[in-house]
Amino acid sequence: MTNDDFSIIGKPIAMVDAAGKTTGAGKYTDDLTMSGMLVGRILHSPFPHARIKHIDTRRAEKVEGVVAVITGKDAPTPYGILPVGHDEHALAVDKVRYVGDNVACVAAIDEATADQALELIDVEYEVLPAYFDPEEAMKAETNLIHENKLNNIEKDYHHVFGDPEKGFAEADCVAEARYIANEVTHAAMEPHSTLAAFEIDSQTGKPGRLTVWSSTQVPYYLQHKLALVLEMPMAQIRVIKPLVGGGFGGKSEVIPLEIIAAIASRAARAPVKITYTREEVFWAHRGRPRTIIDLKTGVTKDGRITAVKARVVQDGGAYCSYGVVTILYSGALLGALYDIPHIQYDGYRVLTNKPACGAMRGHGTVNVRFAFETQMDELAAKLNLDPAEIRQRNLLQAPCVTINGLRVQSYGLPECIEKTVERSGWKQRKGKLPRGRGLGIACSHYVSGAANSIIRSDMPHSTVNIKIDRDGGVVVYTGASEIGQGSDTMTAQVAAETLGCSLGRIKIVAADTDLTPIDIGSYSSRVTFMAGNATLRAAEQIKKQIAVAAARKMNCPVEELIFRNDVVSRKDASVARAPSPADLAENQPTVSGHVDGQILRGSLQQKRKDEGPKTSMSFEEAVVAAIDFHGALTGTGSYAPPPAARGGKHKGAGVGPSPAYSYSAQVAEVTVDEDTGEVTVHKVWAAHDCGRALNPVSVEGQIIGSVWMGMGQALTEEMVWKDGMLMNPGLLEYRSPSSVESPEVEPIIVESIDPEGPFGAKECSEGSLAATIPAISNAIYDAVGIRLHEAPFTPERVLSALRAKTAHKKIDLTEGVDPTAPIHFREHGGALWFRGKGPERHALDPARRETRAETGGDD
Amino acid sequence: MSLPQFTLLRPRTLQEAVGALGKHASNIRVLAGGTDLIPSMRQKLFEPKYVLDIRQLAELKGVYHHPGGGVSIGALSTLTSVEHSEFLRKHYPVLSEAAATVASPVLRNMGTIGGNICLDTRCLWYNQSLTWRKGCGFCIKKDGDLCHVAPGGTKCWAAFSGDTPAALLCLNAEIELASESGVRRMPLRDFYTGLGDTYRTLQPAELLTRVFLPESLADYRGAYRKLRVRGSIDYPLAGVAVVMKRSNGQVADVQIALTAVNPAPVLVKGIQQLLHGKAVDDQLADAAAVLAAKTAKPLTTSALTPEYRREMIRVFTKRVLLEISGQWPVVSGR
Amino acid sequence: MKKELIELRVNGRSHELAIEPTKLLLDALRQDLQLTGSKRACDDSSCGACTVLVDGIPMLSCTMLAASCEGQEITTIEGVSEHGSLAAIQKAYGDWGGAQCGFCTPGFIMTVKFLLSNNSDPTEAEVRSALSSNLCRCTGYSQMYQAIKAAIEAEQKGMAVVK
């Protein structure tokens, strides 16, 4: 089917919730208020690793306006997003493990009062040695961050597929190097916010049900963890997700404030709202860990990959979070992009005394892809092959199953490479640009949702219910979480297209655990594929019921009916025509949401009587007929990934498999200022195979957004640490790019039409990110001939690499670290090399290096 | 982050304003554009008992040309108004350029030239929340007794990070300070102490009211180059302002000032002697650039390494000199 | 802390408010007037999500005291819609993907409204520069440029954009 066969799918429509966002009328969690609502503020640890000896809250409690002060003892049950990682407490019970860890919470009548009371909580700490460098942390035997994690290793995996040694023996050329990617965070514009309120139970007269409004990507997981920590039945907890101001993974697990607000509300016996400050958002973090990648790739002289060996160390921070999944993704998604016959992977997720890392856009794949695609470029240069060509020589022969058990059915990578090469003028321009200007190419891929849920069970990953009533309105109930990516719009489009009705009829009720069936949430780019399929199935089920009734009215077999553009007609009827633009405009919802039909029914019924059996009827007539016939119209559909997509049997095989993979190829054009080291990205051509673009404007927006975020990680974004202190916990110093230096991104949609995706659709919101970083590093090489192995490519790193090549007067711009061959994380990896003293830490602190003699300016 | 408690005073005249300043001098902060004060108050860097809101003082707004007597700029003139003043753009381009690089357009709508001159010095160990500063044991500039950046000494090294003062120093600007006892005028270069903590000589009861640009420096060529990571929003990580007058292709007068690399904006000493009477060529520009770089003493107070920031002072100085001497293609600086 | 009575003019209406002198304009709008369209996102005056017009000029409502805005005309995102319908720029932002999560959108709309009121046909460089006060984390800004272009065309034609 082509897009012309659809009325709503494949059309560039405004998001169904756009007006609420552009008028300010849409409500995010922090916009909500309730009578009697209190404000919660959290006390955070000033130490990276310390035992809490004593907490005295009495002085704080006495402050006028303070209603409750809570600490770890008010909810001592540990939790965590992964069943294997229940290592967090909402508020610290015995130890704090990073600067910013949660210690206590004050609920008060306003923010100023709560802030004032926080200063009056007395906490006595016993400072412990802290670990900031994962390679150091792995050597530790005492003062472990979590007592049950030996050597501070959260998890390590050692995978061998095929025979890597044999593969390397067959190689004509082998590249081996260390790559380092520093830490980045989501920095979604909306700081996390949660409002929690209990209702009084009519039977017991005591607080009963809990309702939590929260900025979450995963309402169902939140409900689950709240039940665990608050020791309440899940059925007594309702989680509602209002509009969410961006997630990118930072809201894809339970964040401490969500549980703290509920505990505080229970203690204060009043609704409590907590909204993080921006600094608290940085402490909550869950971003992309800084990563060391030791990568070895063997190729034959014609560029075929013979084997890949990767050792990956991730600096995971103080808690497990999604860490076990992250380290597995890093290995699993070495496969499924290219055809690699032999793979060895050793992954270490290490605990350190820093905020926990978690899932961030491109989860687990991004840093390894930076290393891999840069090394591919290096190999191409060694073999004198075109970098686009070497990638084309290693394509999978889809459909296939990769050596590590990933099933690939639709594979648009060849077309992605072809199109970016063509649009960017690669063949004519590569290598022919003036000095200082260059082109680089790289590819990436990503899952369309995980084939195995993090909660091991046979439950569907998505379920959608649809109700249609006599008014002709279609209400879709979905647990899928709109976080700005277009979840609600996708759902409405799929439902409307399937039912052949106009978009204006569709009302979306989403992400409210009382009203909507379980959906595991918006993460790993699963919503279009999984919730989309569930919507499709629910709509098909209800459509069948309508068809039965309509077929009776029209005296024809069900199979003869066509549902399109608010008309149900027989195939032989003349009304079944493609809609004109005027029809489409007419079918758009009016501002009030009013849809014609109801008023006309009387006259239509009269008309029908006059005319006898008919060849077509309006959608609304068909609905009325169906309700008269069946009694009620509801449909339900669910989606669980098929067993064939769920991967192999080895330990850790559960992570990586997906029902479908998206593909991306990108060319970046950059200039490098050789005097300053500043890199300017002029343009990125980004081709992305999204299966089918259900809404091209949205798909393009997701591609551009991913590329742009990748560019941020490539050039300007970096969390900078010093002795466990985050030096840049704000949007002023954590530099997410502004409009001025953001390049033009030309999105190129490639449609491979996946056999299992809804209308052939698959992932489009994450997969493009990973290719951007190596595309830029490869373009820098093309421009000025330097290979950067440490991201981000800040001006001092670029200049340092440039100066190393020339006979220029030697200036140590990067504190002795060669960005073309980094060896280890600095204690404070980053563009900042603090020779500063920093805070006093434990005397035996293994991470505390000897303070270097300090010049401190020369006056 | 809530603001600390204070009493807000909103004088309607300059006289009322200096009166209030005199009365509460020991515990008052002046609120003009608010772009420095308010975020700092949220971080509890300032907890004054009184805040003097002078936004209403219309008499302190505007750019006025006094033919033969130079230009006066009201301290409350927004950076946008300085940036967009056709007169300044034509006759004092270095100032327009510097104003146009401050923060972002919206912040320039709020921030004032007086505020930019009075801007508190900045350091990543200082411009942090109260909780954060507790975590690192505070610093010498606020609540502590140690400079993390230079722990050996007892001096604060927070960097002066205003853009326009570098341009104003090149222009030999003077400032007017008003207090209950009257008005005094001083060269801007005497306003800064060179210390990170007590960085200015402004007395507690004084209000910066006007900036004066001498007529003699009108129509000098000039340019400002700013090192920043993003093309907007960021404070300078290094900044170079240059003004030059040429006669017969030779330098008749020149000034170079630096910002964001020392606790004060500073003029590069000896530049006049080096360049005067000569035609700027590559070699001469190099020598001037080296001199500028020697004047810069950046420390780890901000992003990018000190060595890199100092090196950029050198690169920018050379570029700007060649640029305004017409020997370098003019590129729009970031 | 003792509250004071102030009169705040917002979106053409006067409001008498009893507020603390320490109250930020953003908080007065959001908490006292329930005008929650302006957002708080950064705490360090860097992101622009709280942008409102003060006497027609875009400013950060998180960096101003409400009490110090007495006598000034404040326009928030809630004052942008015309006669209960979307203004051209609002419609265009929706149609062209200028808003994804929408959290930064009100701030951007205020910035763009000011830009277009002063310059009916800005160049791309002027648009980029004007938007550089506001951070967006979703869109990479590109689709906003298309939206602004479409809004200008719509204004010129005096009608809504039909794609």
Tens of pLDDT, residue by residue over A429-453, are 999 999 999 999 999 999 999 999 9
Residues A176 and A295 sit within 8 Å (Cβ to Cβ): yes
Considering only the beta carbons, identify the residue of B5, B128, B311 that sits closest to A811: B311
Q: How far is CA A550 from the centre of its chain?
A: 43
Shortest CA distance to B34 belongs to which of B14, B51, B48? B51
Please name the residue of chain B whose CA is at the shortest distance from the CA of residue A841.
B136
User: What is the C-alpha separation between A272 and A261, in angstroms, rounded?
Assistant: 6
Q: How far is B132 from chain C (nearest CA, A)?
A: 14
| Residue A339 token pair | 């055809």
Of the candidates A12, A730, A738, which has its C-beta nearest C42's C-beta? A730
Please tell me the distance from the alpha carbon of residue A472 to that of residue A625, in angstroms, as a whole number. Answer: 11
| pLDDT class of A610 with cuts at 50, 70, 90 | low
Q: Give me the helix-helix angle, A619-630 and A532-554, nearest 10°.
A: 80
pLDDT bucket at B328, cuts 50 / 70 / 90 = low
Q: Tokens for C8?
A: 């705040």
- Say which of C90, C127, C143 has its CB closest to residue A704: C143
Looking at residue A603, its pLDDT comes to: 58
Q: Which residue of B has its CA nearest to C56?
A: B109
Residue A514: how many other CB atoms lie within 10 Å: 12
The reported pLDDT for the residue numbered A826 is 64
| B311 has a chain A CB within 8 A of its CB | yes
Which residues in chain A touch residue C23, judged by CB atoms under 8 angstroms apart? none
Q: With contact defined as beta carbons under 8 Å apart, do A447 and A656 qualify? A: yes
Domain CATH code at residue A98: 3.90.1170.50
Question: What is residue C163's predicted lDDT score, i.e. its pLDDT?
Answer: 43
The pLDDT score that the predictor gives to residue A859 is 33
Is the Cα torsion angle C142, C146, C149, C151 positive or negative in sign? Answer: negative
Residue A436 in contact with partner chain B when CB distance is under 8 A = no
Alpha helices in A511-563 (DSSP H): 532-554
What is the number of other CB atoms lying within 10 angstroms of the CB of residue A557? 10
Q: Is A839 near chain B, with CB under 8 Å? A: yes
Q: Indicate whether A231 and A106 sit together in one domain.
A: yes
C87 closest CA partner among A17, A23, A589:
A23
Q: Is the pLDDT of residue A844 over 80?
A: no
What pLDDT is stored for residue C75 in this prediction?
A: 98
- A381 belongs to a structural domain: yes
CA A29/CA A411 separation, integer angstroms:
40
Q: What's the one-letter identity of residue A103?
A: V
Which are the contacts of C73, defined by CB distance < 8 A and separation ≥ 6? C9, C12, C53, C54, C55, C56
Closest residue on chain C to A11 (Cα): C163
CB B284 within 8 Å of CB B275: yes
Phi, psi angle pair for A200, to nearest 5°: -85, 130
Residue A836 has pLDDT above 70, yes or no: no
Q: Which of C91, C109, C128 lies at the smallest CB-CB distance from A739?
A: C128
The CATH number assigned to the domain holding A663 equals 3.30.365.10
Q: Please name every residue paired with B7 in a beta bridge, in sequence order, or none if there are none.
A: B50
Is C94 in Cβ contact with A23 (below 8 Å)? no
User: Which residues from chain A sit within 8 angstroms of residue C162, using beta carbons?
Assistant: 585
Which chains are within 8 Å of C by 3+ CB pairs?
A: A, B
Exposed, middle or buried, B190 (CB in 10 Å: 0-12/13-18/19+)? exposed
**Whole-number Å distance between alpha carbons of A48 and A828:** 14
In this model, does residue A536 exceed pLDDT 70?
Answer: yes
Q: Are residues A394 and A442 in the same domain?
A: yes
Q: Predicted confidence band at A574 (pLDDT cuts at 50, 70, 90)?
A: low
Give the one of A26, A709, A731 whose C-beta lies nearest to C135's C-beta: A731
Distance of CA B30 to the CA centre of its chain: 17
Which residue shows structure tokens 């003349």? Answer: A574
C-beta separation of C94 from A17 below 8 A: no
Which chain B residues in 83-122 lie under 8 Å from chain C, judged by CB atoms? 104-107, 109-110
What is the residue-averaged pLDDT of chain A? 92
Select from A439, A514, A451, A447 the least CA-distant residue to A479: A514
Q: Does domain C88-156 have CATH number 3.30.460.20?
A: no
Q: Give the range of the structural domain holding residue A614, as residue numbers without chain letter.
A: 3-25+459-639
CB-based contact B104 C133, cutoff 8 Å = yes
SS3 at position A849: coil
A597 close to A443: Cβ distance less than 8 angstroms: no
Cis peptide before A642 (omega within 30 of 0): no
Cβ within 8 Å, pair B39-C134: no
- Most B CBs within 10 A among C65, C113, C118, C128, hence the mutation to make, goes to C65
Same domain, A652 and A526: no
Please check whether residue B271 is in contact with residue B243, taking contact to mean a CB–CB distance below 8 angstroms: no
Tokens of A165: 């040694």
Q: What is the pLDDT of residue C82?
A: 83
The answer to whether the CB atoms of C65 and B232 lie below 8 A apart is no
Q: Please indicate, yes or no, if residue A270 is contained in any of the structural domains.
A: yes
What's the number of CA atoms in the CB half-sphere (13 Å) around residue A673? 17
Structure tokens at A24: 């300010």
Collapsed DSSP state (helix, strand, coil) of residue A22: helix
- Which of A16, A21, A39 is the best residue to mutate to test the C interface, defined by the most C CB atoms within 10 Å of its own CB? A21
Q: What size, in residues, is chain A?
A: 859
The verdict on a CB contact (< 8 Å) between C59 and B6 is no
Q: Which residues of C touch A190 (CB under 8 A)?
A: 39, 41, 101, 103
Indicate if A482 and A592 belong to the same structural domain: yes
Q: Which of A441, A445, A506 is nearest to A473 (CA)?
A: A506
Q: Any chain A CB within 8 A of the CB of B67?
A: no
Helices A696-715 and A769-784 meet at what angle, rounded to 10? 50
Q: How many CB atoms lie within 10 A of CB A413?
A: 29
CB contact under 8 A, A701 and C139: yes
What confidence score (pLDDT) does residue A607 get?
Answer: 57
Task: Please answer whether residues B125 and B225 qualify as being in contact, where contact means their C-beta atoms are separated by less than 8 angstroms.
Answer: no
Which of B8, B39, B109 is opposite residue C65, by nearest beta carbon?
B8
Residue A832 distance to chain B (closest CA, Å): 5
Burial class (CB in 10 A: 0-12, 13-18, 19+), A418: middle
- pLDDT band (50, 70, 90) for residue A840: confident
Q: Is the pLDDT of residue A499 over 90?
A: yes
Boundaries of every domain in chain C: 4-79, 88-156
| Judgement on whether residues A497 and A594 belong to the same structural domain of the protein | yes
Cα–Cα dist A687/A746, whole Å: 8
Could you read off the pLDDT of A125-183 as tens digits, one per residue? 999 999 998 988 999 999 999 999 999 999 999 999 999 999 999 999 999 999 999 99
CB pairs under 8 A between A and B: 137
**A429 lies in the same domain as A498:** no
The pLDDT assigned to A608 comes to: 55
Among the residues of A186-277, which ranges form H helices?
Answer: 219-230, 256-268
DSSP state of A556: S
**Three state DSSP letters for A684-696:** EEEEEECCCCCCH
Q: Which of A795, A826, A854 is the last residue of a domain?
A: A795
Predicted pLDDT of residue A3: 78
A377-391, A702-716, B314-328, C90-104: least confident range: B314-328
Interfacial A residues in 39-58 facing B (CB < 8 Å): 44-47
What's the order of all strands across the beta sheet hosting A567-570? A561-564, A567-570, A616-618
What would the DSSP string read from start to end of A372-430? HHHHHHHHHHHHT--HHHHHHTTB--SSEE-TTS-EE----HHHHHHHHHHHTTHHHHT
Output the CA–CA distances (angstroms, integers) from residue A451 to A83, A360, A447, A657, in the order listed: 17, 18, 9, 5
Percentage of residues in chain A having pLDDT higher than 90: 86
Say if residue A792 is preceded by a cis peptide, omega within 30 of 0: yes
Which chain A positions have a beta carbon within 8 Å of B155's beta carbon? 856-857
User: Is residue A449 domain-shared with residue A311, that is, in the same domain?
Assistant: yes
Strand segments (E) across C12-92: 13-19, 51-54, 57-60, 73-75
**Counted domains in chain A:** 3
| A24 closest CB neighbour out of C47, C78, C84 | C78
What's the confidence (pLDDT) of residue A614?
Answer: 83
Model confidence over B7-48: pLDDT tens digits? 999 999 999 999 999 999 999 999 999 999 999 999 999 999
Same domain, A619 and A696: no
Predicted confidence (pLDDT) per residue in A795-809, tens digit: 999 999 999 988 777
pTM of the model: 0.95
Q: Do C42 and A248 touch (CB under 8 A)?
A: no
C42 to chain A: nearest residue by CA?
A278
The mean pLDDT value of chain B amounts to 95
Q: Which member of C20, C45, C65 has the closest CB to residue B107?
A: C45
Q: Please return the burial class of A669, using the count of CB atoms within 10 Å of its CB with bins 0-12, 13-18 and 19+.
A: buried
**Could you read off the pLDDT of C8-24 as tens digits, one per residue?**
999 999 999 999 999 99
In-domain check, residue A441: yes
| Token reading at A579 | 């809609």
Give residue A853's pLDDT band: very low, low, confident or very high (50, 70, 90).
Answer: very low
Residues A53 and A175 in one domain: no
Closest Cβ–Cβ partner in B5, B51, B106 for C60: B106
The answer to whether C137 contacts A186, with C-beta atoms less than 8 Å apart, is yes
Interchain CB distance below 8 Å, C142 and A745:
yes
Nearest CB to A22 within list C35, C76, C93:
C93
Say if A463 falls within a structural domain: yes
User: What are the strands of the beta sheet with B221-227, ordered from one edge?
Assistant: B221-227, B238-247, B250-259, B266-267
Rounded to 10 deg, the angle between the B306-324 and A795-805 helix axes is 80
* Contact assessment for residue A845 and residue A129, using Cβ atoms and an 8 Å cutoff: yes
Closest residue in B to C50 (Cα–Cα): B106
Q: Which of A582, A614, A639 is the last residue of a domain?
A: A639
Q: Is the CB of C94 less than 8 angstroms away from the CB of A19?
A: yes
A124 and A269 co-located in one domain: yes
Query: Using 50, 70 and 90 to split pLDDT, how confident is the model at A455?
Result: confident
Averaged pLDDT for residues B234-251: 96
Query: For residue A855, what pLDDT band results from cuts at 50, 70 and 90?
Result: very low
User: For residue A640, what are its two tokens?
Assistant: 């669980």
Q: Is residue A261 situated within a structural domain?
A: yes
Average pLDDT value for residue range A682-694: 98
User: For residue C66, which residues of chain B lie inside 8 Å, CB to CB?
Assistant: none
Is the model's pLDDT at A829 over the cut of 80?
A: no
pLDDT surpasses 50 at C42: yes
Nearest to C80, CA basis, from C70, C68, C72, C89: C89
Report yes or no on A47 lying in a domain: yes
The candidate with the shortest Cα–Cα distance to A454, out of A527, A517, A520, is A520
Show residues of chain A in contact with C102, CB under 8 Å: 17-18, 20-22, 26, 243, 245, 484
Nearest chain C residue to B334 by CA: give it: C129
Residues A16 and A36 in one domain: no
Best CA proximity match to A663, nearest among A423, A310, A419: A419
* A589 and A443 together in one domain: no
Report the residue from A17, A707, A732 with minimal CB separation from C140: A707
Mutation target vs C (from A8, A23, A697, A699; most C CBs, 10 A cutoff) = A23
- Does A821 reside within a domain? no
What pLDDT, on a 0 to 100 scale, did the predictor assign at position A457? 81
Q: What angle do CA C91, A4, A749 make, to 5 degrees?
A: 70
Q: What pLDDT, on a 0 to 100 scale, did the predictor assign at position A596?
A: 43
B14 at the C interface (CB within 8 A)? no
Position with higher pLDDT, A321 vs C158: A321
Window 68-107 of B: residues touching A by CB (8 A cutoff) are 104
Integer-rounded Cα Rg, in Å, for chain C is 16
Q: What is the pLDDT of residues B224-238, one digit of tens each?
A: 999 999 999 999 999
The predicted pLDDT at position A825 comes to 75
Q: What angle do the packed helices B306-324 and B282-295 form, to 10 degrees?
A: 140
Q: Place domain C4-79 in its CATH homologous superfamily.
A: Beta-grasp domain (3.10.20.30)
pLDDT at A604: 57
CA atoms A58, A63, A68, A69: torsion sign: negative
Which of A639, A663, A681 is a domain's end point?
Answer: A639
Measure the CA–CA gap between A504 and A621, rounded to whole angstroms.
17
Region B299-322 average pLDDT: 95
Q: Would A138 be classed as within a structural domain?
A: no
